[in-house]
């Protein structure tokens, strides 16, 4: 049962507030990326390696810091 389904059942009084309800989320979200379509820019794929992630993260943080510095310079 997903959190959304549980909320719907709660609003329908099919799950009662005085009851204990346990939700088991077993997925990783990779199958439900369609809900994010159009919300975020598509990023370049990286290999499933920690070093690749760290490289991507450092590149991304550097880009954000440069953009922040430019915004500060413009507003000054």
- Per-residue pLDDT tens listing for the chain (76 residues): 578 888 999 999 999 989 888 888 776 666 667 777 777 777 788 999 999 998 988 888 876 555 556 556 666 6
Name the 3-class secondary structure at 53: helix
The structure's pTM equals 0.36
Q: What is the DSSP letter of 52?
A: H
Residue spans of the domains in the chain: they are 3-28+44-75
CB 15 within 8 A of CB 6: yes
pLDDT at site 37: 75
pLDDT tens digit string along 17-34?
A: 898 888 887 766 666 677
């Amino acid at each position: 049962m997903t959190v959304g389904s549980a909320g719907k059942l709660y609003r329908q009084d099919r799950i009662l507030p005085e009851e204990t309800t346990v939700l088991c989320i077993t997925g990783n979200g990779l199958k439900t990326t369609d809900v994010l379509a159009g919300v975020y820019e598509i990023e370049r794929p990286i290999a499933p390696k920690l070093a690749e992630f760290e490289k991507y993260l450092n590149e991304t943080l550097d880009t954000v810091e440069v953009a922040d510095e430019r915004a500060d310079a413009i507003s000054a």
